[in-house]
């Protein structure tokens, strides 16, 4: 079966893990610090904290925004559940907005109707790595959270996604463009707040044992809890994989782009489907996923047809406002349309040329 998502891991990753294990150091340590520095340098971030998942980076992002309890946060319904969970876990209310049909992103027009006197922040998700036009959201004068889980290599002008709002997050899970077994990251503009994220991630304990020993030579085992926060620390096994994946990122991105371009050229000729919008001249895309929309034919039948040919597809995402747990009665026509007509096809560095040809021919044969 050809999988819809995937990453490419090799012996170099294994070697990097081996050196951590040989040094008897699996937990948070020097590899984590090295990954943080190298990632920060690549994206030109002023601060960056590695945590154990993108979902927990979102939880931390909502925490450090420090909004008044019960604030409304506007976010797309066409996104991963963790975005809404983070809002709820921080004691706030997720307010779902629609997305553009072609980019799958929020826009000024889809956000505006959902803003009212209780709105305290907007969460933008760079779907598939296509940058949200952040400049159109700034006029609302609200804090902006950027979910760059799909967008580790995306840019708007000369700014990397994740680095344009007040706080940004990344995901490094096992199928992301920069993969680890699990991992996530958080960046932000406020230096003091970002320094706090390093303390928060270890159960909110302000000082390490070593630092406590320096400041309290007689009772070095005592620690100061600066805030309430679950354990979000990363580890050096994951960071080891991340360090190698970071080196391979350009190569993997070029591979993803090649598949994307093939799909655009081939599927652009089919009038029964709509291809996703590619990057504008001032944008850099990450090509995390390839989401088509069926204009005239049945999406479920295409999914079954491809499954029968050994090609696994999916829909990202089942719109959140349709999930009863969020008790939302809003109508979001584009999200609902995508829910019936959209399909994500495989795109990742583990696909062979033969896989890509098989996918192209199978879609054309439908
Ligand atoms: C848009 C988006 N945000 C956040 C996350 C959460 O990231 P993680 O899986 O690292 O927790 C994901 C995961 O796929 C995602 O797609």
Distance from the CA of 218 to the center of ligand 1, in angstroms?
A: 44
Distance from the CA of 28 to the center of ligand 1, in angstroms?
A: 22
Q: What is the pLDDT at residue 151?
A: 98
Q: Which of 87, 149, 348, when mutated, tests ligand 1's pocket best, judged by the most ligand atoms within 8 Å of its CB? A: 149
Taking CA atoms only, the protein residue closest to ligand 1 atom 10 is 54
Strands (E), 211-318: 273-274, 283-284, 290-294
Residue 210 is encoded by which pair of tokens? 């070593």
Distance from the CA of 82 to the center of ligand 1, in angstroms?
A: 7
Q: CA torsion 254→259→260→262, rounded to 10°? A: 120
Taking CA atoms only, the protein residue closest to ligand 1 atom 7 is 54
Q: What is the pLDDT at residue 72?
A: 98
Q: Which atom of ligand 1 is nearest to the CA of 171?
A: 10
Q: Which atom of ligand 1 is nearest to the CA of 55?
A: 11
Per the listing, tokens 């920069």 go with 178
Closest Cα to residue 315, out of 2, 48, 79? 79
Q: What is the pLDDT at residue 120?
A: 98
Per the listing, tokens 């990202």 go with 316
- Alpha-carbon gap, residue 245 to 180, rounded angstroms: 8
Partners of residue 335 on adjacent β-strands: none
According to DSSP, residue 314 is labeled B
Q: Which of 51, 55, 145, when mutated, tests ligand 1's pocket best, judged by the most ligand atoms within 8 Å of its CB? A: 55
pTM: 0.97
- Alpha-carbon gap, residue 19 to 171, rounded angstroms: 24
CATH T-level assignment (fold) for domain 11-246:
3.40.640
Q: What is the pLDDT at residue 273?
A: 98
Q: What is the pLDDT at residue 213?
A: 65
Who's near 227: CB < 8 A, 6+ residues apart?
A: 63, 196, 199, 200, 204
Domain ranges of the chain: 11-246, 249-364
Q: What is the pLDDT at residue 279?
A: 98
Per the listing, tokens 């027009």 go with 109
The yes/no answer on whether domain 249-364 falls in CATH 1.10.10.60 is no
Q: What is the pLDDT at residue 237?
A: 98
Distance from the CA of 361 to the center of ligand 1, in angstroms?
A: 31
Q: What is the pLDDT at residue 208?
A: 63
Q: What lines the ligand 1 site, CB under 6 Å?
A: 53-55, 79-80, 82-83, 125, 147, 149-150, 171, 173, 184
Domains 11-246 and 249-364 share a fold: no
pLDDT along the chain (366 residues), means of 10: 97 98 95 98 98 98 97 98 98 98 98 98 98 97 98 98 98 98 97 94 79 75 88 97 98 98 98 98 98 98 98 98 97 98 98 98 98
Residues 284, 52 contacting (CB under 8 angstroms): no
Q: What is the pLDDT at residue 223?
A: 82
Closest Cα to residue 176, out of 197, 202, 154, 195? 154
């Amino acid at each position: 079966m050809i999988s819809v998502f995937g990453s490419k891991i090799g012996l170099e990753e294994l070697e990097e893990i081996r050196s951590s294990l040989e040094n008897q150091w699996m937990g948070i340590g020097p590899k984590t610090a090295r990954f943080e520095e190298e990632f920060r340098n690549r994206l030109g971030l002023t601060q960056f904290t590695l945590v154990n998942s993108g979902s927990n980076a979102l939880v931390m992002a909502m925490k450090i925004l420090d909004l008044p309890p019960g604030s409304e946060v506007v976010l797309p319904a066409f996104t991963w559940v963790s975005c809404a969970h983070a809002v709820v876990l921080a004691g706030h209310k997720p307010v779902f907005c629609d997305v553009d049909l072609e980019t799958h992103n929020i826009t000024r027009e889809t956000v505006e109707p959902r803003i009212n006197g209780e709105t305290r922040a907007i969460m933008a998700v760079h779907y598939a790595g296509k940058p949200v036009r952040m400049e159109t959201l700034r006029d609302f004068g609200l804090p902006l959270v950027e979910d760059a889980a799909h967008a580790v290599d995306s840019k708007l002008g000369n700014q990397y996604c994740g680095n344009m709002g007040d706080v940004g997050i990344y995901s490094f899970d096992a199928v992301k463009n920069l993969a680890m077994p699990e991992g996530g990251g958080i960046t932000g503009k406020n230096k003091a707040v970002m320094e706090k994220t390093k303390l928060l991630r270890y159960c909110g304990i302000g000082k390490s044992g070593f630092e406590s020993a320096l400041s309290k030579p007689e009772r070095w085992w005592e620690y100061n809890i600066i805030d309430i926060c679950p354990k979000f620390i990363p580890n050096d096994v994951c960071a080891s994989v991340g360090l190698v994946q970071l080196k391979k990122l350009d190569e993997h991105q070029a591979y993803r782009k090649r598949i994307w371009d093939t799909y655009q050229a081939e599927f652009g000729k089919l009038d029964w489907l709509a291809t996703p919008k590619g990057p504008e001249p001032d944008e850099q895309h990450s090509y995390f996923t390839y989401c088509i929309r069926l204009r005239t034919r049945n999406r479920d039948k295409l999914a079954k047809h491809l499954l029968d040919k050994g090609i696994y597809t999916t829909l990202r995402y089942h719109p959140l406002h349709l999930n009863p747990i969020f008790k939302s009665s809003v109508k979001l026509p584009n999200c609902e349309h995508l829910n019936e007509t959209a399909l994500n096809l495989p795109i990742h560095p583990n696909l062979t040329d033969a896989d890509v040809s098989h996918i192209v021919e199978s879609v054309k044969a439908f």
